Amino acid sequence: MAGAETESQPVALPPGPVGSPAAWTGAEMARRSDWIVHFTAGELAEIDAAIAAHKAAGRAMGEITPETFRLPGLAPRLAAILDELLHGRGFVLLRGFDVASRSIEDAAIGYLGIGAHLGGFRSQNAKGHLLGHVRDLGLDIRDPKVRYYQTNRELEFHTDSCDIVGLLCLRTAKSGGGSRIVSSVTLHDAMLERAPALWRALFNPMPTDRRGEIPPGMLPWFEIPVFNWHKGLLSTIYAGQYIRSAQENFPQARRLTPEERAAIDMLDALAEEFALTMEFRPGDMQFIHNHQILHSRADFEDWPEPERRRHLLRLWLSPPGGRELPPAYAQRYGDITPGNRGGIVVKDTVLHFSLEPA
């Protein structure tokens, strides 16, 4: 079977359940609140001062770094949060940042400043957006170049092409649109226990649609296993929608076996079983460790008035202290050096920050 181990290149498999603090369930986390971190009044004052200093200095958004966006009291707390993201449960919700009384520019500067203390900014699409906008643009999902976050459609559980994914809620929808996350370590351990043959199939490389964002010299799809065991760590990369669309759109891509199809179907079902749902408030910042968390979103009904419509800002971040990734990730990430990896760059990509969805 394509993707199975060979004598010269054995597939690395975990010796058993992975466990660790990263293996949590939604039911467990719903009973806890330690993953919700409230900014203190002093920390919020520091953020305000750093935004004002950034603007007074006439700096561009690309010049925001931990050194230029000084947060002397908050920075140690952000360092502890980064450690929890990379080595603990893998997610956090920061609450209390005021967006209602700020311009979108000031909110973006504050968000980028906090994000800079967690990692370097990475391009989120072929247009080179370093500050992303999650908003319904009224696009047709049947267009192979449209990404689901540009619509009001439900997102299936998936990972993005970076180490840390951040979202800042500016405005909520009229109804729906809740954020859903699930531990991919928990999914791995459940599959190993319940269906070992299907568990094993997820270590086979699977063709995944690039949705038209094709780096020079690459195919319109990449092939990476969903589960990757490397240097004693489990890293998961998954987009079931795009694995399926690669089968539909690219006859040249390897055909999935019935066992592999059943494996991704089971992974989706388990994600529903173990997920945690959180409803964002304006000003909430969610950060997740992409290698051990899958995320999704419920579909939503938006407000008719453009100025009230659901709007999130997004960051893709690469921390210098990130885990080592297996070589297969280079197909999607390009350079896999910690601190300088992830993101989407194609032939004509120009990196920039935009305050408008596009």
| CA–CA distances in Å: residue 210 to residues 215, 224, 250 | 9, 12, 11
Q: Given this model, what pLDDT does residue 5 score?
A: 41
Q: Would you state the pLDDT for residue 146?
A: 47
pLDDT value for 173: 66
CB 184 within 8 A of CB 293: yes
Pairing status of strand 91-95 against strand 36-38: parallel
In terms of residue numbers, what domain contains 286?
A: 28-333
Alpha carbon distances (Å) from 341 to 128, 162, 270, 332, 348: 14, 7, 29, 10, 18
Residue 351 domain-assigned (yes or no): no
Query: Are 166 and 118 contacting, i.e. CB atoms less than 8 angstroms apart?
Result: yes
> Does residue 340 lie in a domain region?
no
Residue-level pLDDT at 357? 80
**Residue 3 falls inside a structural domain:** no
**Counted domains in the chain:** 1
343 part of a folded domain: no
Per-residue pLDDT tens over the stretch 277-322? 999 999 999 999 999 999 998 675 554 666 667 889 999 999 999 9
CATH of the domain at 91: 3.60.130.10
Judge whether 277 lies within some domain. Answer: yes
Over the chain (358 residues), what is each successive 10-residue block's mean pLDDT?
47 96 98 97 98 98 97 98 98 97 97 98 94 71 51 76 97 72 98 98 97 91 97 97 96 98 98 95 97 86 64 96 96 94 91 87
- 174 lies in a domain? yes
For residue 135, what pLDDT is reported?
A: 79
232 found inside a domain:
yes
Task: Flag whether 87 is in a domain.
Answer: yes
